[in-house]
Structure 1
Amino acid sequence: MRSEQAAQNRPWEALKPQGQMLRPQQVIERTGLSRTQIYQMIADQRFPPFIKLSTRASAMPENWLAAFIEQRAELALGRNRA
């Protein structure tokens, strides 16, 4: 039951990384959220994490961000299963 709830709350965890790798600035532009908001939500496990590509580069798989946006759209439309 707990894993089902985690899958509903964090749908990106069930997805393999696919699509373009989005750098933090691209994620900011696509979501309209601030850098601070994004990193706080990551810390709270409410936003997909960035993958460390090298010592100075991080990126997020495009399908993880799409899963987050889809989840938020479902909530906005009142289709939340949680």
Structure 2
Amino acid sequence: MFIRRIALLSFCVLLAACSKVNQENYAKLKAGMTKAEVEALIGEPTECAGAIGLTSCTWGDEKTSISVQYAGDKVMMFSGNGLK
């Protein structure tokens, strides 16, 4: 039982370390990128909302996140929070 707990804890630590929501990938974002290009870089968004051709998507959680605003299919603006 103890070994399973250690294995699970190790897996969780490795999973967190492999997050694509980081400073390195944030630095690769550019205005004009398509949604597909952004998702290839940082994965599927945690949430998206929008209306009338404008969409805002967020990756990450309350401590570490990247937010991207799209006009149509193109990145208009983006911001990051707590990135390492």
Rg comparison, structure with higher value? 2
Do both share a fold (TM > 0.5)?
no
For normalisation by structure 1, the TM-score amounts to 0.35
Give the structure with the larger strand fraction: 2
Structure of higher RCO (CA pairs closer than 8 Å, 6+ residues apart) = 1
